[in-house]
């Protein structure tokens, strides 16, 4: 499944929000992205109202097989961004899924 490109995304946001000026939409969007990034760096978690929570988590180091050499390697701990959907979002998509089956 292919996603829309960035220009189409901003046009859709403008249409859905009632904001006509695409530059304003882009400024707000990138302002939200900066806010999320700063909160993740500082507090390792940010809750987006009515959408869900982004948080940083660290995967422990682990062993992995290098298929090229056949040797077992130790991979270092890895930082990852995770998302946990709000219960309202989960409910919305469960209901949407039932209607589309």
Q: pLDDT tens-digit profile of 51-85?
A: 999 999 999 999 999 999 999 999 999 999 999 99
Q: Which structure tokens are listed for 59? A: 């995967």
Give the pLDDT score at 63. Answer: 94
Give the pLDDT score at 57. Answer: 95
Task: Count CB atoms within 10 A of the CB of residue 73.
Answer: 11
Give the pLDDT score at 101. Answer: 79
Is a pLDDT exceeding 90 seen at residue 100?
no
Is a pLDDT exceeding 90 seen at residue 88?
yes
Give the pLDDT score at 9. Answer: 94
Contact 60, 79 (CB under 8 A): no
């Amino acid at each position: 499944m292919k996603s829309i490109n960035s220009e189409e995304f901003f046009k859709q946001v403008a249409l859905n929000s009632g904001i006509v000026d695409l530059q304003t939409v882009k400024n707000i969007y990138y302002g939200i992205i900066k806010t999320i990034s700063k909160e993740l760096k500082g507090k390792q978690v940010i809750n987006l109202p009515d959408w869900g929570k982004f948080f940083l988590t660290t995967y422990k180091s682990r062993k992995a097989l290098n298929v090229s050499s056949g040797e077992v390697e130790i991979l270092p701990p890895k930082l990852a961004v995770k998302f946990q959907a709000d219960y309202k979002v989960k409910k919305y998509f469960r209901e949407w899924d039932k209607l589309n089956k």
